[in-house]
Chain A
Amino acid sequence: MNLQIAMLLGQDGMTNGAIYALLALSILLVFTVTRVLFIPQGEFVAFGALTMATLQAGHAPALVWLLALLAVIATIADLLAGRRDTGRYRFGTGQALRLGYPFVLIGLIQVLPLESLPMALQAALTLALVVPLGPLCYRLFYQPIANAPVLILLIVSVALHVAMVGVGLLIFGPEGARTQPFGEGGLELGPITLNAQTLWVLTASLALIVALYLFFERTLYGKALRATAVNRVGARLMGISPVFAGKASFFLAALIGALSGILIAPITTIYFDSGFIISLKGFVGSIIGGLASYPVAALGALLVGLIEAFSAFFASTYKEVIVFTLIIPFLLWRSLTSRHVEEEE
């Protein structure tokens, strides 16, 4: 191996690492706010990438029907819950918007020239299709058992992941897809050329991280989410409802997931079940951060990307084994430094 190859591998590692870092942050956010270990995070990556590919191929994404179905079920669930609590069916503007939204999208997809849309619009449409699935998932799968122990929520996450992979196969089929690159050429930097897509991924990830930072530090809504993570009871007493916090964090998780999918799709071929392994690497990052520290989680995820790239070069068959056994020293370290605390929820 020479410097050239090392730089190339490093570039690869940084690109994937940046994506893993985004996912690690998202996983951490969802966990601290809702105590849900969001295993299906990866499915949002796959859905984002494959929806973008579908649009570029000029097909109407069938995902919109899933969105419509979930919206209908959520509306019925809300109506029933309203009746149980107050004895009346209540149908507010919120419900009406949620119910109407997918049907507006269905109409839009019919009239828009999907294939020839500018890439930015295709990306926006992809986000408009995928992101609402996040809050819907929270409403249907997690909200009814929001107070359950972490382990139950984790099993629900795994179940949801399994179901979503099946749905992904149904909607997108077994073939993989790759999207068109955002730009051509690259940036000459001394001996190596930085690939345009790499630059896109790095810039977009960085921009997203800064935006998230500003959201959590500067806005009241961001602070409200942080407050829920710090002290759930305290937040409820301020009128920050767990439902609001849950939906908001799942919205962000779906947004980050879908965006990651759009960013990574021109580099790697994504299949309906590719998301899982990608998001697990985000998990490794957040575990390195002790499921608590954002900066450490992001750096950990970056490290995962780099180690993955270099082990692909040295021992390609053992690449995944190396990446996943990477968490063992960290688990070991944590088990030696932290005392077991009984979960009392």
Chain B
Amino acid sequence: MNPRLQTEPGTPASTTVPQTRRSNAPSTRTVLAVFLAALAFAPMVLPEFQVTLLNYIGLYALVALGLVLLTGVGGLTSFGQAAFVGLGAYTTAVLTTATELPGWIAWAAGSPWLALLVGLVLTAVVAILIGSITLRLSGHYLPLGTIAWGISLYFLFGTMDILGGHTGMTGIPPISLFGWELDKGGEIFYLIWAFLLAAVLTTRNLLDSREGRAIRALKGGMVMAEAMGVNTSRSRMVIFVIAALLACASGWLYAHMQRFVNPTPFGLHIGIEYLFMAVVGGAGHVWGALVGAGVITVMKQWLQDLLPQLLGASGNFEVIVFGIMMVLILQRARDGIWPLLAKLVPVRAVHKQISASAEPLARRPMPAKGELILEAKNVTRKFGGLVANNNMSLEVRAGEILALIGPNGAGKSTMFNQLSGVDTPSAGEVLFRGQPVAGKDSREIARMGMSRTFQHVKLLPTMSVLDNVAIGAHMRGSRSVLPSAWRLDRAEEARLLKEAARQIERVGLGEHMFAEAGSLALGQQRILEIARALAADPCLLLLDEPAAGLRYKEKEALGDLLRRLRAEGMAILIVEHDMDFVMNLVDRVVVMEFGEKIAEGLPDEVQKNPAVLEAYLGGVE
């Protein structure tokens, strides 16, 4: 229900097929080509001042792009990116100007390109260090941490003698490319924008991949993603490091464009400005970074001239306007300017293509029918003095559906958490295929072949049904960040998407394949969760109230699906309130009340059990 900063990042053109809707609108490729052509001619026709402005926009956009990934997509806020820019700038400044360097680093002296390499490595190390301290903490500690290290690094730049103190360092050489010295604004322009465009494209590629889905799940879907086998801490670190590297590259370009550095552009206030750019432009969109950097940079120029005249005093009064503008944007249009702009230039809507020829993913061998899959032995769970589960035992076998039922508050959810390894019993144990579940994290349990749905649907509402289900198949792929960014993952991606599509068809959501998951009815969202769980190729399915909110026909279809899965040898445990649904479907029923098992048996036995009747309808005196 929360409004979010993020919406779905654009779908790249390369893996897509045109759709009939708006077929007379230009394709994204055409729009991009026009933009690139305009860019290529800009330094030739524009006055020098404008070119310089464009250079700055490019440099800022590079940093803001990192923030789009970090904040807009991943939900991690950083005010300290300027410090990483400084790291890149000072590294190259020191390496390219120093006359005597210690032996171990002397090889990198004098060459901007080697200095870039050193800067990137140094930044990655620093980012991993800072990230390992702050990234594990919940939401707000990270931004507070970034403020602290943003200030610390800034003061360090200003106080270290080797960095020239507050006066800074001069005499930085220009970058040369194949013997061509980029010492004019109109020349380095091409390098800056090449860096930016390359970064935009790789970021887009990355977001449209197996890793990308994991990254996009960070915002609001971490519990779900972990249950699907995604290592979310790793994903957080990945985007944190990428954002830092982009900032470092921007700093390197900046140092060689300005030819001198001092601490001022790397202070916290600039770090804040970078975040403003990302949010103003549209933190959920890669192009939002460019728009935001453009708007803020141009406005700043304009306001710096206008406001002092207007107010009759000199000073950085543009920050008042920026501050108020930020507040208004966050209050009124949290997705920033980009979505509004995108509406003005309609491009053809495109969907991912499902390749029919992709090889199916390997499947795990199914256990033999009747094999004991899940066993709970005398599970007791106490919260303080409250006994939520008392001495509960149950077992589920391959090719069987077991229902766990009981009135509200009977302790079913607690039991479900013990079985799925989310919580650890105070006494007793849960064995999955003979191995204890306790002490394993959700990822390991998922890898062992247990897959689940959630009582309160957990999906990524702005992502397509296909992408949501593909998260389920995460563990069945292995291609990582670099192959994704450079499109070397396409064969595997096609297999993953094909598997996701297969599961979507199987549960009967085929016609909604490309719809936003959030636009489905609640019942369909629950079915989507089943498809996602199936995409993980499990041998045990734990379903938490799958029939809630379904219409009669949909319930019948769900029943049929579960029967088919049972016939294939799947072990299924469902927690359900809809008695009609349960009684028609399952093999055995376990009834709970007050945390204890009060009945177990065949459905029709259980229904006649007086204890069950009393539990459900309440006691009468």
Contact = CB atoms under 8 A, between A and B. Distances in A.
- Whether A associates with B in a native complex is yes
Interface of A: 37, 141, 144-145, 147-152, 154-156, 158-167, 169-170, 173-174, 277, 280, 283-284, 287, 291, 317-318, 320-321, 324-325, 327-328, 331-332, 334-335, 338, 340-343, 345
Contacts of A147: 2
A318 B75 CA distance: 32
29 contacts: A144-B331, A149-B139, A150-B139, A150-B140, A151-B143, A152-B330, A154-B77, A155-B279, A156-B327, A159-B323, A159-B330, A160-B327, A162-B319, A163-B320, A163-B322, A277-B151, A291-B140, A321-B156, A324-B148, A324-B149, A324-B152, A325-B148, A327-B148, A328-B133, A328-B149, A332-B133, A335-B134, A340-B136, A342-B222
Nearest to A147: B2
Interface string B1-27: 011110000000000000000000000
Contacts of B109: none
A162 B272 CA distance: 9
B133 A166 contact: no
B313 interface: yes
Given A145-B331, A158-B275, A159-B330, A166 B148 contact: no
A280 B603 CA distance: 63
A243 to B, nearest CB: 16
A154 B149 contact: no
B320 A166 contact: yes
Q: Closest 10 interchain pairs by CB?
A: A163-B323, A159-B326, A166-B320, A166-B319, A162-B323, A324-B148, A317-B159, A335-B136, A159-B323, A169-B315
A323 to B, nearest CB: 9
Interface in B273-324: 275-276, 279, 311, 313, 315-320, 322-324
Contacts of A166: 315-320, 323
B152 A321 contact: yes
Given A165-B319, A166-B316, A287-B141, A159 B148 contact: no
Given A166-B317, A334-B141, 11 more contacts: A145-B330, A148-B3, A151-B143, A152-B5, A152-B330, A162-B319, A164-B323, A277-B151, A283-B144, A328-B145, A331-B134
Contacts of B319: 162-163, 165-166
A201 B3 CA distance: 44
Contacts of B276: 159
Contact of B152 (A154, A159, A325, A331): A325
A162 B222 contact: no
Contacts of B269: 162
B155 interface: yes
Main secondary structure of the interface of B (DSSP, over half): helix
Given A169-B317, A321-B152, A331-B133, A163 B138 contact: no
B123 to A, nearest CB: 18
Interface of B: 2-5, 75, 77, 79, 133-134, 136-141, 143-145, 147-149, 151-152, 155-156, 159, 220, 222-223, 233, 269, 272, 275-276, 279, 311, 313, 315-320, 322-324, 326-327, 330-331, 334
B140 A151 contact: yes
A204 B476 CA distance: 64
B320 A343 contact: no
B144 A287 contact: yes
A155 B136 contact: no
A156 B316 contact: no
Nearest to B153: A321
A67 B233 CA distance: 46
A37 B133 contact: no
A159 B147 contact: no
Contacts of B324: 159, 163
B140 A154 contact: yes
A341 B311 CA distance: 47
A332 B330 CA distance: 31
Given A145-B331, A149-B2, A158-B275, A170 B134 contact: no
B143 A335 contact: no
A23 B134 CA distance: 23
Nearest to A327: B148
B148 A318 contact: no
B151 A280 contact: yes
A37 B315 contact: no
A119 B134 CA distance: 46
Nearest to B279: A155
A28 B433 CA distance: 48
A147 B2 CA distance: 8
Nearest to B325: A159
Among A144, A159, A161, residue most surrounded by chain B Cβ atoms (within 10 Å): A159
A170 B317 contact: yes
Contacts of B139: 149-151, 343
Contact of B315 (A170, A284, A291): A170
Contacts of A277: 151
Contacts of B334: 152
B295 to A, nearest CB: 15
A293 B304 CA distance: 43
B322 A162 contact: yes
A338 B327 CA distance: 32
Given A154-B77, A167-B320, A169-B317, A37 B140 contact: yes
B322 A338 contact: no
Given A144-B331, A155-B279, A170-B313, A318 B137 contact: no
Contacts of A283: 144, 147
B381 to A, nearest CB: 18
A327 B145 contact: yes
A283 B138 CA distance: 16
A27 B311 CA distance: 33
A324 B151 contact: yes
Nearest to B311: A170
Given A159-B327, A325-B148, A331 B137 contact: yes
A73 to B, nearest CB: 11
A280 B151 CA distance: 10
Contact of A154 (B137, B143, B316): B143
B438 to A, nearest CB: 16
Nearest to A143: B331
A51 B148 CA distance: 29
A332 B4 CA distance: 29
Contacts of A332: 133
Nearest to A315: B159
A269 B492 CA distance: 64
A327 B141 CA distance: 10
B332 to A, nearest CB: 9
B138 A160 contact: no
A325 B331 CA distance: 33
A345 to B, nearest CB: 6
Contacts of B327: 141, 156, 159-160, 163
A319 B227 CA distance: 45
A138 B90 CA distance: 41
A170 B311 CA distance: 8
Contacts of B326: 155-156, 159, 162
Among A144, A149, A174, A291, residue most surrounded by chain B Cβ atoms (within 10 Å): A149
B443 to A, nearest CB: 14
Among A160, A166, A169, A317, residue most surrounded by chain B Cβ atoms (within 10 Å): A166
A67 to B, nearest CB: 16
Nearest to B140: A150
Contacts of A280: 147-148, 151
Contact of A169 (B148, B222, B316): B316
A32 to B, nearest CB: 12
A331 B316 CA distance: 34
Among B5, B75, B151, residue most surrounded by chain A Cβ atoms (within 10 Å): B151
